Structure 1
Amino acid sequence: MGIKLPDPPQYSYTANALVEAYNVISRSRRYEQGTPLALSIADLNAYCEQYELPVERYIFNVVIFDLDNRFIDEAYKRMQKKSA
């Protein structure tokens, strides 16, 4: 078609480690009547006791909570579509 594809993003070991950490931490997620509840600082603390962090703790917290907020927002949107 003559369209040049953009270069793929450079692989980031740090980003990969953070996403893997989120996946592990989110396994402890609790639900109430089928609605996912946000992860707590206790969930993050439990992870930090077992694993070495790829970044400083305050950055780790911000990233994990942001990923969780995105998950919660997407889950809420899906629930709204089902109820409409």
Structure 2
Amino acid sequence: MRDKLGRKLDDAPEFSYTAHAILTAFNVIARGRSYHPVAMPLDGSHINAYLELYEAPCELHIFVECVFALDNLFLDGVRKQIKSAT
């Protein structure tokens, strides 16, 4: 596709086990999300339930901050979809 646009293909990013593990953990944790009229934010109990089964791929405070940051990005996307639909 980029060849058609006349752009050079970028080099593939280096694989990060930690980033992959955090993204995978977020997907597992988000399965427990509550949906009332809209998607509700995740809370510490969702992360704690995950950590009872699996170990954190990095320091705990970094893991928790990453999960909450990913959740904020998800919720921002949901809000944008709701605004564009109305």
TM-score strictly above 0.5:
yes
Q: How big is the alpha-carbon RMSD for the aligned residues of Structure 1 and Structure 2?
A: 1.1
Name the one with the larger strand percent. 1
Please give the residue correspondences for 1:1-84 in structure 2 after superposition, counting only pairs within 5 Å: 3-33=7-37, 35-83=38-86
TM normalised by structure 2 equals 0.90
Q: Structure 1: where are the runs of 5+ without partners? A: none
Secondary structure at 2:31 match in 1:
helix
TM-superposed CA distance for 1:3, in Å, is 3.5
Unaligned runs of 5+ in 2: none
Using the size of structure 1 for normalisation, the TM-score is 0.92
User: 1:66 offset after TM fit, Å?
Assistant: 0.2
Aligned residues: 82
